[in-house]
Chain A
Amino acid sequence: MATVYLVVGALVGVYIAAELAWPALNFDIPYLTFGRLRPLHTNAVIFAFGGCTLFATSYYIVQRTCYTRLWSDKLAWITFWGWNAVIVSAVVTLPLGITSGKEYAELEWPLDILIAVVWLSYMFNFVMTVASRKVSHIYVANWFFMAMQVMITYLHVVNSLAIPVGLFKSYSIFAGPQDAMVQWWYGHNAVGFFLTAGFLGIMYYFVPKQAGRPIFSYRLSVIHFWTLIFGYVWIGGHHLQYTALPDWSGSLGAAISLAMIIPSWGGAVNGMLTLSGAWDKLRTDYTLRFLIVSLAFYAMSTFEGPLMSIRTVNALSHYTDWTVGHVHSGALGWVAMVSMGAIYHLVPRLWNTELYSTKLVNTHFWMTTISIVFYISAMWVSGIMQGLMWRAYDEQGTLMYSFAESVAAMHPYYALRWFGGTLFLLGTIVMLFNVLMTVTRARTAPALAHASA
């Protein structure tokens, strides 16, 4: 399902990108407007694609590394159906305009409750599986999954606190600056724990497995794990620089964001150096290419992010496309690519067969990498351009550009970004094809047929 949702999520993304370049595509239809589809795109790629990838891989990894079966198959199936019910509900409710108005938390309160039930079932099942492990020590990948599970529980509960005023409408109990801080504590940690810690867990299993070598440094994993999960929580304030929050909030956010480069790069380094003495594998192992390049993008994004949290930089970048570029370098470069590596590793093993086509994996790899370069370059140029145009003065001391002029200047970059996104989408279709062909041609085997797809 992760593979399917990746195509769906990318498709919505490509559509809304097209709407920005060619607004006629809104077609005067309420359900297709950019404002209503954007949350569908973000929820689809983060929670549908990202979520399914996390569930599938963590259920697989916890069993492999604990040398035991899942504590409860039934509970796992409940999480599968429950999560997919949430996703389908999102597809219905969001275009209808049923939204809480809070980014990455738009799903309204009945769905929030369903999410909580699924999530707690998942966490409980996972922890009980770890508790019944046949080895004494808990493997590093599972530390990251557990940290993610704990934090997401906090985040979801607190940020969804709202009073219902209708069956599908509610108001956040927080307001103004307090709501802003809660929202971005949530928003940044959704990235930090769902999209980073969780996927680092994935990395910590699939990189050594695919490379056939142990993780570079145990000690590094311990240190960067604790500093990462402790520090990430403090930096939500960097989304609110120069806004109506007290000064100390932004300063704290910026300072700790910069400090976070170290634990983040610790993870990237640990993963990459696992390949020490085996770099030649990258010449022939295309799955490994995804995994290693994802770490390069991870290192890049975790450098760019702290850079953008510095006030001086943020004064230019905030509200511009640069933020969008940064998000996608992390989302496409790190999250999507490490997931693709994991899925290409996982699928043949789950069906006890070989991939339908390794050549297509390589095709997919290049399509993905090139598409990401197009996307982020377009956004870097447009973002910085916007920032500069908005603050430009002429010799008379008046503003040089009207806002509308800056919008007009964006068009070629919106088109270029759409192109990058489309290339990425085509890559995901190649992957879906490859996975489906692999699965349908496989000789069925009883071995690992239980793990959800």
Chain B
Amino acid sequence: MTDNGKPKKFQEKMELNVALFMLTLAIAVSIGGLVTVVPLFYLNSTWEDRATTPDGKPKNPELSSVRPYSALELAGRDIYIREGCYTCHSQMIRPFRDEKERYGHYSLAVESKYDHPFQWGSKRTGPDLARVGGKYSDQWHEAHLLDPKSVVPESVMPRYPWFAKATLDPNCVVSSMKGMKMLGVPYTDEDISKAPAMVQGKTEMSAIIAYLQVLGTMVKFEEGKDYRD
């Protein structure tokens, strides 16, 4: 923009021609998205399980243990989304010393590879849940969900008594799994046909607890290893 004539000419062309203006806008605003979003789809650095050693072997074979959610866990995840749990709880541990002590190993991208949609969250009104799996007993979770204050007196979390009364709908779980399969989550036909039996008669409470108990447990991390930059 050094010369007085140039910006005026371009700008004038825009202001005189709405179609040209719209086209230029469409191009101008698409660039940022292309640069920031598209590379994540072809760069191997997006997924830690694609990293290789200098001689071409997978660097982090232990990450292959990340698996799709079971039928019960998936039903629980749907409840988590329905209730908007992500508005108060994050699921993304950052590589800081205090977070490691409080929550565990920092989260890897590959751990949420089957999460359609992702639930990393953006607020911690309540604690991060990325590795809550296995930290508390099922009974603790049940007591906490029915009445958070009974186990955490300072809590501001609402009570969820309806979890214990509502039962799961096997048809819903089957459509969910089929949908996920369409999106590339590796469910087998066997997984899907066994699903109704797995959730028949179970309550929403058992589903959400199953989901919470699996969070962050799928990978056995090697101590001191650098999984990310």
Contacts and interface: CB of A to CB of B under 8 A. Distances in A.
Contacts of B58: none
A243 B179 contact: no
A233 B32 contact: yes
A390 B98 contact: yes
Contacts of A233: 29-33, 36
Interface residues of A, number: 98
Interface in B1-35: 1, 7, 11-12, 14-16, 18-19, 21-22, 25-26, 28-33, 35
B140 interface: no
A16 B199 CA distance: 34
Interface stretch (B89-97, B186-194, B217-225): B89-97
Contact of A175 (B12, B30, B45, B118): B118
Contact of B37 (A169, A185, A319): A185
Contacts of B110: 176
Contacts of A131: 18-19
A87 B92 CA distance: 32
B88 A127 contact: no
B206 interface: no
B56 interface: no
A33 B83 contact: yes
B64 to A, nearest CB: 16
B197 interface: no
A150 B98 contact: no
B33 A101 contact: no
A191 interface: no
B198 interface: no
Nearest to B158: A26
Nearest to B163: A30
B179 to A, nearest CB: 4
Contacts of B96: 242, 315, 391
A180 B112 CA distance: 10
Most chain-B CB neighbours within 10 Å: which of A97, A178, A239?
A: A178
Interface string A114-151: 00000000000001001100001110000100110011
B32 A230 contact: yes
Nearest to A130: B18
B136 interface: no
Nearest to A242: B94
Given A166-B175, A171-B179, A180-B118, A244 B155 contact: no
A21 B155 CA distance: 10
Interface in A325-383: none
A34 interface: yes
Interface string A313-331: 0010011100110000000
A36 B21 CA distance: 41
12 contacts: A23-B155, A28-B158, A101-B86, A137-B15, A138-B14, A150-B22, A166-B172, A171-B116, A171-B117, A178-B40, A244-B107, A319-B122
Given A35-B88, A97-B83, A99-B82, 9 more contacts: A33-B160, A35-B85, A36-B83, A38-B87, A99-B81, A171-B180, A177-B46, A177-B109, A179-B118
